[in-house]
Chains A and B, each alone.
Chain A
Amino acid sequence: MFKRILAAAVPALMLVTAAACAEQSVGEANPGASAVAYPSKTLQIMAPAGAGGGWDLTARSMQKALQEANLLNGQSAEVRNVTGAAGTIGLAELVTSHAKDAHQLMVTGLVMVGGVVTNKAQVDLTKTTPIATLTAEAEVIVVRNDSKYTSLKQLVDDVKANPTSVKWGGGSAGGTDQILVGLLAKAAGADTKTVAKQYVAYSGGGETKAALLSGDVSVAVSGVSEFADLVKAGTVRALAVSGASKQDAGNGTPAPTIKDAGYAVELMNWRGIVAAPGISDAERKAVIAMIDKLHTSAQWKQTLTDKKWDDFYKSGDEAKAFFESETTRIKTVLTEIGLG
């Protein structure tokens, strides 16, 4: 018991000093938000997936950085996992059971936007209170080093001529990887539906790698980090990355983007944070202010470096607009490839 008291007392003492400064700076930067002292109780951060996955790591990293950067107004933060159906179980819980509770946050991401569509979930991301996007990872399109394709254009030309000749491998059906294949086929003017049918879903990066190496699939799509080591070893060749700018896919030289190859596709596998619906405007501003401060904190910057996450920050109205545009875009492409 003594240890408990001690454990609670030390941060509290530290925060007595920190809180005063923090409140001042809020007052200066954002006069509307200072009306709400936030958080005023334990902050709940939901990771809508199992422990150890990307969303869970994001949630736990946020919890840690928020605590270490003293952004919790003397309160603590708790991470809880609600698993299931690409995060849509957690999403439904946030919207139905925790509405109007400003202390309920949830990690989200592109995968959830897709999951809402493929699982025909009742509740979508626009029902929540958007707060911010935090990180993102580009996708990479790779072939084996003995493949005849040396550029994305050659590959896409073949796909356009004969859609069934190229078999794609990647993560789960309707996930980021298949979405990218659909967007690419659409942008290139290929038969989107047939191309998407040539996509073979694997249960994770490991299985996808094995399928590419064994020759089951001719092209693999995955996050850049997943294939970095094989690209570096020269076992596989990166044809393109899906971000806005060229990016090193592992071998030290920047790989071209899909746009460089002439197809107007840009797709980032982003992660972000939303709050429960129905919270007041002042509360919303307070949450955004807290995440804004988290984003600029040294602790969060360190987290990004440690985890090799790319910064992808949009907050407030910008995040709201982004969530909406992604929801529309993903819904369209998934419907087109027959997964809507």
Chain B
Amino acid sequence: MTAPTPGAAKAAPGPLIAGVVLLGAGVYLLVHALSAGDLTLGGPGLAPVIVTGLWVAVAACYVVTAFLERIAEAEDKPRWLTPFLLLGGLIAYSLILKFTVVGYVLATVVFFVGSARLLSVRPWREVIVRDVSVAIGLSLAIYFVFTRLLGIALPAGVLPL
């Protein structure tokens, strides 16, 4: 583990921001729940109000504690770029699966190599052969097990499978 930045625990704005976001979301959902009407006992509108009301109350407590006690933020320094790049990759991957003719195997190989690269700290020359071969093997195995043995359709796409 890396050493914590001096003073990080005290001044950490993270929890406070998270608390405010939570509180905002809770208020929005509570208003949404209240506008649905029919808050009778046994009706469908009551539980949403109770749950979102609880949400607002708990989120408010969290904001207060975050403000007063300055909940110590995690000591390690996360890098948010990598997970969001990965997320972008995932979304692109699933959209390609659903809406294009690229096909399961090809899309999976490309995604696999890209994602493994993002998650790797070693230079790509050392791992590219491993990544590509695992990607091809895994995607072909999944494709055939699902389409041939289980009868679940996966897009064949441009490859002559």
Contact = CB atoms under 8 A, between A and B. Distances in A.
A and B from one assembly? yes
A78 B153 CA distance: 7
Contacts of B151: 60, 79
Interface of A: 4, 51, 60, 78-81
What 8 pairs across the A-B complex have the smallest Cβ distances? Answer: A80-B153, A78-B153, A79-B153, A79-B151, A60-B151, A51-B152, A4-B161, A81-B152
Q: Which of A78, A79, A81 has the most CB of B within 10 A?
A: A78
A67 to B, nearest CB: 12
A160 B138 CA distance: 64
A51 B150 CA distance: 11
- B contact residues, range: under 10
Given A80-B153, A81-B152, 6 more contacts: A4-B161, A51-B152, A60-B151, A78-B153, A79-B151, A79-B153
Contacts of B161: 4
A270 to B, nearest CB: 25
Q: Is the interface of A mostly helix, strand, loop or mixed?
A: strand
A60 B150 CA distance: 12
Nearest to A4: B161
8 contacts: A4-B161, A51-B152, A60-B151, A78-B153, A79-B151, A79-B153, A80-B153, A81-B152
Contacts of A51: 152
Contacts of A80: 153
A80 B152 CA distance: 7
Interface in B110-161: 151-153, 161
A79 B153 CA distance: 6
Nearest to A7: B148
B152 to A, nearest CB: 7
B136 to A, nearest CB: 14
A48 to B, nearest CB: 14
A78 B151 CA distance: 8
Contacts of A78: 153
Nearest to A78: B153
B103 to A, nearest CB: 13
A60 B152 CA distance: 10
Contacts of A4: 161
A181 B123 CA distance: 68
A3 B5 CA distance: 60
B133 to A, nearest CB: 17
Contacts of B152: 51, 81
A79 B151 CA distance: 8
A194 B66 CA distance: 51
A51 B153 CA distance: 11
